[in-house]
A and B are shown apart, each in its own frame.
Chain A
Amino acid sequence: MPELLVIVLKLVLVAAAFAVLPLLVGQAEHKVMAHMQGRLGPMYAGGFHGWAQLVADGVKFAQKEDVVPAAADRRVFKLAPGVAIVPYLLVLVVVPVGPGGQVALDLGPGLFFALAVMGVGVIGAIMAGWASANKYALLGGMRVAAQLMSYELPMVFAAASVAMAAGTLSLGGIIEEWRWWWLPWQAIGAVVFFVAGLAELRRPPFDMPVADSEIIFGPYTEYGGLRFALFILAEYAGIVVLCALTAVLFLGGWKGPFLDTGLGWLWTLVKVFGLSFVVIWLRVSYPRMREDQLQKLAWKYLVPLSLVQLALTGVLKVAL
Chain B
Amino acid sequence: MNDYFDGYALVAALLLVGAGIVGGGLAANRMLRPSRPTAEKLATYECGVDPVEGDWAQSYVRYYVFAYLYVVFAVDAVFLFPWATVFAAPGYGMTTLGEMFVFLAFLAVGLVYAGKKGVLSWV
Contacts and interface: CB of A to CB of B under 8 A. Distances in A.
B66 A11 contact: no
A104 interface: yes
Contacts of B66: 146, 149-150, 295, 299
A66 B85 contact: no
Contacts, number: 200
A315 B97 contact: yes
Given A163-B85, A226-B26, A292-B122, A104 B10 contact: yes
Contacts of A315: 97
Given A89-B14, A226-B26, A317-B88, A142 B122 contact: no
Sort chain B's interface into a size bin: 35 or more
* Secondary structure class of chain A's binding surface, majority of residues: helix
Contacts of A160: 77, 80-81, 84
A169 B101 CA distance: 21
A29 interface: no
Interface of A: 7, 11, 14-15, 19, 62-71, 81-82, 85-86, 89-90, 93, 104-109, 111-112, 130, 132-136, 138-139, 142, 145-146, 149-150, 152-153, 156-157, 160, 163-164, 167-169, 216, 221-222, 225-227, 230, 291-292, 295-296, 299-300, 303-304, 307, 310-311, 314-315, 317-318
Given A89-B21, A132-B44, A226-B25, 18 more contacts: A65-B34, A66-B26, A69-B45, A82-B19, A89-B18, A90-B18, A105-B11, A135-B57, A146-B66, A152-B74, A157-B80, A160-B77, A168-B85, A216-B47, A230-B22, A299-B120, A307-B107, A317-B87
12 contacts: A14-B14, A63-B33, A63-B34, A71-B51, A71-B55, A82-B19, A134-B44, A157-B80, A225-B33, A299-B114, A307-B104, A311-B101
